[in-house]
Chains A and B, each alone.
Chain A
Amino acid sequence: SQKIEQNSEALNIQEGKTATLTCNYTNYSPAYLQWYRQDPGRGPVFLLLIRENEKEKRKERLKVTFDTTLKQSLFHITASQPADSATYLCALTDSWGKLQFGAGTQVVVTP
């Protein structure tokens, strides 16, 4: 069965450091992968989309990599700030064209 796995444990990181989140998937052949941010009490907000033929994508302090051989995407937040504290979700399109979300990883950035 198709599965998306993200670290369920919260990632606690000191301000200024780089946070790295992992998204592993099985039984998907995605054309692209998306990352979203969700703050408590709010809907997810789109951050980045990376296509299967792209190794890396950047947006300001965010960087995403996509390795279709390893079936893994890494999401990096460089020079992290307390305002980056949130839950980060990865999402993939399944065989039926539906977007499936991982359970998310909570990031806590402390000053």
Chain B
Amino acid sequence: DTAVSQTPKYLVTQMGNDKSIKCEQNLGHDTMYWYKQDSKKFLKIMFSYNNKELIINETVPNRFSPKSPDKAHLNLHINSLELGDSAVYFCASSHILADTQYFGPGTRLTVL
């Protein structure tokens, strides 16, 4: 059983489009995250949710909107995609904030 899963694994789209990435964890964790890893491989936190509530919101354009329908799911919706949004996006979960992170396989987003 996959602990943290993301879909899709690859996403290729045109500038200006809107897209979503889905994440699910079956670890029973209370906290979930979205990270962005750019071309230089630097992993940076974007958002964190605890029990469906947003607790960390980094300096991310408001075109990015996370949604947590329940504590096992955290989706990321991106409006008006730009070239600079191209990166690998990782979902992660942990028991409590900043505890050991369990990462999903990543979604490689390419904006053309």
Contact = CB atoms under 8 A, between A and B. Distances in A.
Interface of A: 34, 36, 41-46, 49, 87, 89, 91, 93, 96-101, 103-104
Contacts of B44: 101
B103 A49 contact: no
Interface of B: 4, 40-45, 48, 56, 58, 90, 92, 97-98, 100-106
A100 B41 contact: no
B101 A99 contact: yes
5 contacts: A36-B101, A43-B4, A43-B105, A45-B103, A98-B98
Which of A89, A93, A97 counts the most chain B CB atoms within 10 A? Answer: A97
A41 B106 contact: yes
Q: Give chain A's interface secondary structure class.
A: strand
A41 B103 CA distance: 12
A103 B44 CA distance: 10
Contacts of B97: 97-98
Given A87-B41, A98-B56, A103-B40, A46 B101 contact: yes
